[in-house]
Structures are given as C-alpha cells and as structure tokens.
Homo-oligomer: A and B are copies of this chain.
Amino acid sequence: MSAHRINEKTRGVYVISVTPFRDDGRLDLQSVESLMQFYLDAGVDGIVILGMMGEAGKLGDEESRIFARTVFEVVDGRVPVAVGVSNAGLGNLVGLAHDVMEMGAAGVMVAPLNSLRTDAQIAAYFTAVCAGLGEDVPVILQDFPLATTVQMSPPLIDRLVEDLPQIAMLKHEDWPGLNKLTALRETEASGRRRRISILTGNGGLHLPQELDRGADGAMTGFCFPEMLVEVCAAHAAGDRDRAEDIFDAYLPLVRHEAQPGLGLAFRKEALHRRGAIASPFVRQPGPKLTRSDMKDMDRLIDRVHRRLEKLEG
C-alpha cells in the first residue's frame, strides 16, 4: 500500500472529487461507484476526497468516514486516494487523518486556518499539525489564499518543507502564482531545499503556464477531467502547442466554472449530465443554478465540443 502514498515525486492529475448527495440532501453512496469510474475513465493519476469543493465542511464526522470508506472500497487501490482533513480543531483533524490513513489513504491535505496571518503563526500551526499526525503521515500543504485569506510566501514554504519532512506536496492555488512556482523550483534547483511535488489548483485556470513553470501536474476538479489529463500528457511529451490548443478549447468553460461559489453548482451539474452522479444537489448553504445559468452552460459545453472537433478534424 505504501507504493500508493504520495511523495515528493508524485506527478500527473489528482482530481478533486465532489461528494455526491441525493436530491434529499443525504449522502449518495450509490453514486460513489459511477463517480470513481468516471474519474478513472478520464485517466486521472489519483483522487482527492473531502476537499473544499467536496463540501467537507458540510459533512458530519460520521458521514465523512462513511464516504471515505466507500471511496476506498470502490477505488480498491487502482489509484492513490488522498483526503482533505482541515478542521478548526487539531484533535478533530488528527482523528480523521488517522482514520483515513488506516483505510489506506495516500496522504492528507491540510489548509492553514483562516485566522493565521504571520509566517510565525503559520509555521507554528503546521508544526503542531505534523506533530499531531505523526511523521509517517504524508502531508499535502494547501495554499489557497482566495478561500483561506492566508498567504504563504516562498520563503515560508521553503522553511515548512525543510522543517517538516512529511510535507510531500504543495497544492498550489495562489493567484497570481506563476512567479511563486518559479521561485519554489529555483530554490530546489539551487540545492537550498529538498524537492516537493507541486500540483496546481484554481480549477486549472492557468495550467499550461503552470506546467511551464515547473508544476508536476494538476489537482483540481474541473468537470472535464480528461482535459487536465490530456494537457499534462501533451506537455510532458514536449508537445507544448498541442497542450495549449486542447486547453484553450476548454478555457471558456474552465473560466466559467472558476467563478467562486457558483462554480461548484456548475461542476456538479456537468458531472450529473455526464452520468457521473445521480443528482447535482449541493448542500446548504450553497449555490443554485438559475435557468440562465443552465443556458450558459449548454452553450459553453456545445462550443467546447465544436472547437474540439475543429481541432481534431
């Protein structure tokens, strides 16, 4: 199983999974199978559950574990599965982390609490988190200022990575973030810090440029995950233009799904239309699509298809 743990060389596309609910708002465990198959069919290299876009904060403690257990059973080791465990209480965070590691998790993802501000506060927090987890739990550092209001500079990330050996990966979703990526990779190139894996989020909005700057892949939940896979593959194969051509075909939709808040409703609606989940239900408080939103979506998806045809034709 340890072959499945994330490490400092992990590459590719780790999809951020939604959490499927039924129309009445209860966990939809039936859809876990179709959803995981959908992600695997798209060619993802790993799956991340209970992230922010997995509505983790709206699940009960017991529900989180039931959903996680179901995912691990369904995926059955075909790809690594990492788990978001961010929580206002350190004890809760550690408790969930230990439970999912026992289920076979590849690692856990932790975002800084939104009350943290200074480098010293953030470093103290992750030091406490890692001590609580124990050194054999691989950690993914989530750097998402738009959602957390917490900013982590490259020197701070360098320090966290040096001080806390179990940090294996950065989920990079600072915005703007390209020069941050470059700074982090330059520190490694100069030998001043060990390497970490860096996968990028933000719905994939800057993926080609991020790969140029040294990202190892993507960790996001765009509703057409096959795009992320193809772009990363083409880029890895050195076909930079093809990577960007594919990306650009989807970009109007990527940009549309990247709207804060509302994006999750688009994502679940698209996954529902594509057969991945039985219901597009988003738990309250959460966004709902209007009729006009539906029309936008029809049109944007239709245009993506037409452009892909032209590209392939």
Contacts and interface: CB of A to CB of B under 8 A. Distances in A.
Interface of A: 25, 55, 57-62, 88-92, 95, 113-114, 117-121, 125, 128, 132, 145, 150-156, 175-176, 178-179, 182, 205-206, 209, 212-213, 244, 248, 251-252, 255-256, 259-263, 283-285, 290, 292-293, 296, 303, 307
27 contacts: A57-B88, A58-B90, A60-B95, A89-B283, A89-B284, A91-B284, A114-B114, A118-B119, A119-B119, A119-B153, A119-B156, A120-B153, A120-B154, A120-B155, A120-B156, A121-B151, A125-B285, A175-B260, A176-B259, A176-B262, A179-B292, A182-B292, A206-B256, A209-B256, A213-B292, A248-B251, A248-B303
Closest 10 CB pairs of A and B: A58-B89, A176-B259, A57-B88, A118-B153, A117-B151, A120-B153, A90-B284, A119-B119, A61-B61, A176-B262
Contacts of A89: 55, 57-60, 283-284
B117 A117 contact: yes
A113 B285 contact: yes
B296 A152 contact: no
A118 B178 contact: no
A118 B152 contact: yes
Contacts of A152: 118
Nearest to A61: B61
Contact of A178 (B91, B182, B255, B293): B293
Contacts of A57: 88-89
A292 B178 contact: yes
Given A90-B284, A290-B179, A205 B25 contact: no
Contacts of A212: 292, 296
Main SS class of interface, A: helix
Given A60-B91, A121-B153, 12 more contacts: A57-B89, A59-B89, A60-B89, A61-B61, A90-B283, A118-B152, A119-B153, A128-B284, A176-B262, A178-B293, A179-B293, A251-B252
A68 to B, nearest CB: 15
A182 B293 CA distance: 10
A213 B176 CA distance: 28
A233 B58 CA distance: 42
Nearest to A155: B120
B176 A128 contact: no
Nearest to A240: B299
B303 A244 contact: yes
Contacts of A244: 252, 303
A203 to B, nearest CB: 11
Nearest to A295: B212
Contact of A248 (B95, B252, B261): B252
Contact of A62 (B61, B132, B256): B61
